[in-house]
Amino acid sequence: LRQRELNFAIVDEVDSILIDEARTPLIISAPSATSGAAYEQFSKLARQLKRDKHFGVDEKRRAVTMTDEGITYVEKALGISNLYDSTNIRTIYHLDQALRAEALFKRDKDYVVTNDGEIVIVDEFTGRLLKGRRYNEGLHQAIEAKEHVEVQEESMTLATISFQNYLRLYDKLSGMTGTAKTEEEEFHQIYKLEVVEIPTNRPLARTDMADKIYRSKKGKYDAIANQVKELQEKGQPVLIGTSAIEHNEELSKRLKKAGVKHEVLNAKNNEREAHIVAEAGQKGAVTLATNIAGRGTDIVLGEGVKELGGLYVIGSERHESRRIDNQLRGRSGRQGDPGETQFYVSTEDDLMRVFGGDRIRSVMNRLKIDDETPIQNRVISKSLEAAQKRVEGFNFDTRKNVVQYDDVMNRHRKAVYTIRKRALLAEDISKQIKEMVEQEAESWASVAPLDKKEFYRELETVFPFSEKQLKQLKKTEDLKERLKLFKDYAYELYVEREEVLGAEAMRQIEREAVMQVLDQLWMQHLENMEHLRNGIGWRSIGQRDPLVEYR
């Protein structure tokens, strides 16, 4: 197949593709044989281990580390003397994925379990189900074992490339989005793209209020329910954004309890999305949605809604990315319409908990502020934005790290794909085949075998020389003469094979053989490089830069 050159790409919602998706590599994979029993065994073991006692969790880096007590417990449970012995590499692999599945990946937040027992990933940025996508390196199987559904077979990587390197293959790249300004540095550094801000068509009439901060999630959810009830009685439509399905469903229960009639939109019922969004701007409408309603959704205001203040958007917590919050805010006040936005935050929210919520909680305790009373302070809102900037900075470093490591693989990829393309498109590759045959003959000729019997037995599998030729090779000691004989005999074999098969059939076989061997070796190389990358971080203990060592 002949593909067109990659000349020019225009990407819609460019920050979603070039930034949010950049940590996810593009992978073409095929099934490989594996046993689900090992995943189930280690899932059971992971459930026995206690957080902070047997293992530690770094939520910022989404990593799990075993403690000394945990290592001892696992060694005793598995009946082994040294968990980190080189013979236990597969054991460490299964244990690590089982612990990550247990401690870091939450049902109805990171993934959902469908009625037919399938684990489907939820996109953290859009709230949509990513059907057909699976976590790699055995993590998806570990989650399947955790949820007691059928463990699917592992996949083997046939080809992989990062989003960054794929899109950088285009000669010219451009895109559009309403939320690129906060990631201006990354667009420039990674993609060499400048961000140009275009003024709004009409002046912005939306009011963005300072965050309301509560001590607990309970106080926050109760306040949201009370506020929504007041707005519904007034007739002003409300859109409430949540970051996860579980929060979406929890808030829905509070609204029902408060007697608020509302629509729920999340990854579990997204088939009703068009209908729910179409009604979201009508008088008295209350729509409770995950990030599904955040990007690219145009909510049209019903008759008389502008006079009531337009669409009222409530964020039930701050997302780790300011762009996601800005996308939610942007559902209100479109095309110069009036609107209001308000974020409700608690010190128990994930972002606050991981990035400094304890300090704000201690301030609230000193001021004797109860669960129902909020703090509404621009300084605290700024500290929340600072936390978001820290997360964004960390995520930027992660994405930069991905592209730096993939740049190494990119050189390998280009070399292999150039050879592959040449083999695929050239009418005749016999010249290259003859060069390969000559190189192989040279490598065999230069070997000084310790076991001559074994050497000639192996040689026959590569070059099936005649008895006469083998006798001549065995008695030739001079290296130059031996090298010449090897090349001559190998060439004679090649010519004989072509005469038997015919030139046309020979060309086809050559092409298929090169493609098959190249693909097989490339798959093995990808696996080896993945193992190297997973372990290269340990070089930092010896004061060496892992990236330099990897290169």
Task: Please report, as a single letter, which amino acid is at residue 28.
Answer: I
Identity at 529, one-letter amino acid code: M
pLDDT number for residue 342: 92
Q: For the residues of 392-439, what is the DSSP string, one character each?
A: HHHHHHHHHHHHHHHHHHHHHHHHHHHHHHHHHH-S--HHHHHHHHHH
Q: In the prediction, which pLDDT does 190 show?
A: 86
Say what percent of the chain tops pLDDT 70.
Answer: 94
Residue carrying structure tokens 């005649």: 466
**What is the mean pLDDT of the segment spanning 170-174?**
92
Give pLDDT tens digits for 127-146: 778 888 888 778 899 999 99
- The DSSP secondary-structure symbol of 347 reads T
pLDDT in tens, 277-303: 878 889 999 989 887 765 666 788 888
| pLDDT, position 508 | 84
pLDDT over 60 at 2, yes or no: no
In this prediction the pTM is 0.68
Pairwise pLDDT comparison (456 vs 138), residue with the higher score: 138
Band (pLDDT 50/70/90 cuts) for residue 229 is very high
Q: In the predicted model, is pLDDT for residue 1 greater than 50?
A: no
In this prediction, residue 42 carries a pLDDT of 92
Residue 73 has pLDDT above 90, yes or no: yes
**What per-residue confidence (pLDDT) applies to 449?**
67
CA angle at 110 for the pair 243 and 292, rounded to the nearest 5° = 40
- The lowest-confidence range among 61-65, 241-245, 382-386, 491-495 is 382-386
How much is the mean pLDDT over the chain?
A: 83
User: Do residues 119 and 144 touch, judged by C-beta distance below 8 A?
Assistant: yes
Radius of gyration from C-alpha coordinates of the chain = 31
Given this model, what pLDDT does residue 471 score?
76
Backbone angles phi, psi at 290, to 5 degrees: -80, -165
**Mean pLDDT in residue range 507-526:** 85
Q: How many helices, marked H, and strands, marked E, lie in the chain?
A: 20, 16
Q: Which CATH superfamily is domain 410-542 in?
A: Helical scaffold and wing domains of SecA (1.10.3060.10)
| Digit-coded pLDDT (tens) for 472-486 | 777 777 767 777 777
Per-residue pLDDT band for 398 (boundaries 50, 70, 90) equals confident
Range among 51-65, 101-115, 294-308, 393-407 rated most confident: 101-115
Q: Give the pLDDT confidence score for residue 486 in this predicted structure.
A: 76
pLDDT digits (tens, 9 = 90+) for 173-189: 999 988 888 888 889 88
d(CA 551, CA 549): 5
**137 or 199, which is more confident:** 199
Cα 117 to Cα 155: distance, rounded to the nearest angstrom: 19
Determine the straight-line distance between the first and last CA of the chain, rounded to whole angstroms: 33
H or E stretch covering 176: strand 172-176
Least confident of 80-94, 191-205, 381-395: 381-395
- Nearest residue to 96 (alpha-carbon basis) of 128, 141, 126, 53: 141
In sequence order, the 6+-apart residues with CB closer than 8 A to the CB of 438 are: 487, 490, 491
Q: What is the pLDDT of residue 105?
A: 92
pLDDT exceeds 60 at position 224 = yes
Question: Residue 51 corresponds to which amino acid?
Answer: R
Q: How far apart are CA 56 and CA 503, in angstroms?
A: 64
pLDDT at 450: 62
| CB atoms near residue 255 (< 10 Å) | 22
Domains 28-161 and 205-376 share a fold: no
For residue 455, pLDDT beyond 50 = yes
**Is residue 355 very low, low, confident or very high in pLDDT (cuts 50, 70, 90)?**
low
Q: What average pLDDT does this structure show over 34-42?
A: 81
pLDDT at 312 over 90: yes
Q: What's the CA gap between 502 and 509, in Å, rounded?
A: 11
> Would you place residue 409 in the very low, low, confident or very high pLDDT band (cuts 50, 70, 90)?
confident
Q: 205-376 has which fold? A: Rossmann fold (3.40.50)
Give the model's confidence band at 84: pLDDT under 50 very low, under 70 low, under 90 confident, else very high.
confident
**Residue 155 phi, psi (nearest 5):** -110, 150
Extents of the domains making up the chain:
28-161, 205-376, 410-542
Note the CATH number of domain 28-161.
3.90.1440.10
- Rounded Cα–Cα distance for residues 303 and 295 (Å): 24
